[in-house]
């Protein structure tokens, strides 16, 4: 096996091993994790909201949150490959690896690793804190007489739920902080917005790139706000999830990916209008 093949094999194995190490605890949390059993006060009005179905379901969240960035990566990298002067193809076991395929593997791998890291941070916080969701009383209907003056201001820890038919729902009612929908949507859309800033170079429209970035951020915010209006989370859960996902996305782009390194800077595409001497030397940043 030649040196380049050894390098590629070692890199791929290491990448998948790192992803497996981060993803495994997520599966263990989902199937075997038990959240911290936090108590409640009978007069806590923030826990008495009705249970509602999610406006943005988990299926919609994960499909859109994964497919939209990945498709964007593939299209953008293909355009860059077509516009470039030619990139040397890597070879693995005597077979050439298309430069577009290798670049897509790199960016999708970094993106996926960040998704797993953000998800694991969210799960660790959820299971460690065990905050009750706003629909706690509706889902659980605890067997406690809250009209009893003795229970009115008492912090109640030992209780049983009358509604025990859905074990998954009873587990989920303790996983309010932070919001998983908010952290996931923030990570995926902030990552995509930063990717577009680094790699989208078409200048036919001065505002197109920033419009697409705005759409990405808006999608994340709409997802986050829906979790409050659906009574799935408290506003502080959503805020914490959004901040956590955004921070992980920024750190992943800046310190793990090579999107903003000089070697992988975006390849400029000629504008429809040639730059004047004044605009080229004035030092003023262009919009796009």
pLDDT digits (tens, 9 = 90+) for 13-50: 999 999 999 999 999 999 999 999 999 999 999 999 99
Q: Which two tokens stand for residue 135?
A: 């629909």
Written as six digits, the tokens of 228 are: 């409050």
Beta bridge partners of 91: 96
Q: Distance between CA 189 and CA 216 in Å, rounded? A: 5
pTM for the full predicted model: 0.89
- Are the C-beta atoms of 18 and 114 separated by less than 8 Å? no
Note if the bond before 90 is cis, omega within 30 degrees: no
Residues with Cβ within 8 Å of 83's Cβ and at least 6 positions away in sequence, in order, are: 267, 269
Catalytic residue among 80, 119, 181, 234: 181
Rounded CA separation 182/240 (Å): 8
Q: What is the pLDDT of residues 187-241, one digit of tens each?
A: 999 999 999 999 987 777 778 999 999 999 999 999 999 999 999 999 999 999 9
Q: Which residue of the set 80, 135, 233, 234 is catalytic? A: 233
Task: Report which of 20, 68, 21, 76 is spatially closest to residue 184, judged by C-alpha positions.
Answer: 68
Active site (annotated) includes residue 80: no
User: Does the pLDDT value for residue 264 go beyond 80?
Assistant: no
Least confident span in 142-146, 244-248, 283-287: 283-287
- Active-site residue, 135 included: no
Q: What percent of the chain has pLDDT over 70?
A: 89
User: pLDDT, tens digit, for every residue of 73-109?
Assistant: 999 999 888 887 666 777 787 788 889 999 999 999 9
The single-letter DSSP state of residue 136 is H
pLDDT greater than 90 at residue 285: no
CA-based Rg of the chain, rounded to a whole angstrom?
24
């Amino acid at each position: 096996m030649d040196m380049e093949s050894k390098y590629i094999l070692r890199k791929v194995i290491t990448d998948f091993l790192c992803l497996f190490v981060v993803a495994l605890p997520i599966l263990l949390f989902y199937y075997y994790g038990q959240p911290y059993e936090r108590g409640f006060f009978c007069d806590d009005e923030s826990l008495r909201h009705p249970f509602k179905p999610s406006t943005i379901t988990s299926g919609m969240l994960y499909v859109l949150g994964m497919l939209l960035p990945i498709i964007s990566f593939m299209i953008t990298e293909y355009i860059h490959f077509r516009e470039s002067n030619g990139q040397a193809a890597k070879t693995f076991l005597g077979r050439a690896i298309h430069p577009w395929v290798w670049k897509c593997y790199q960016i999708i791998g970094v993106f996926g690793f960040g998704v797993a890291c953000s998800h694991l941070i969210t799960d660790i916080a959820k299971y460690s804190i065990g905050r009750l969701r706003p629909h706690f009383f509706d889902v659980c209907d605890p067997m406690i007489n809250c009209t009893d003056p003795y229970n009115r201001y008492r912090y109640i820890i030992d209780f049983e739920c009358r509604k025990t038919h859905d074990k998954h729902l009873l587990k989920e009612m303790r996983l309010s902080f932070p919001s998983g929908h908010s952290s996931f949507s923030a990570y995926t859309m902030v990552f995509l917005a930063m990717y577009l800033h680094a790699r989208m170079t078409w200048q036919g429209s001065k505002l197109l790139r920033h419009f697409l970035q705005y759409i990405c951020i808006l999608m994340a915010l709409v997802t986050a706000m829906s979790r409050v209006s659906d009574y799935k989370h408290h506003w502080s859960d959503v805020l914490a999830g959004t901040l956590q996902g955004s921070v992980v996305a920024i750190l992943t782009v800046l310190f793990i990916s090579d999107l903003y390194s000089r070697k992988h800077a975006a390849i400029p595409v000629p504008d429809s209008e040639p730059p004047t001497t004044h605009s080229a030397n004035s030092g003023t940043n262009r919009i796009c």
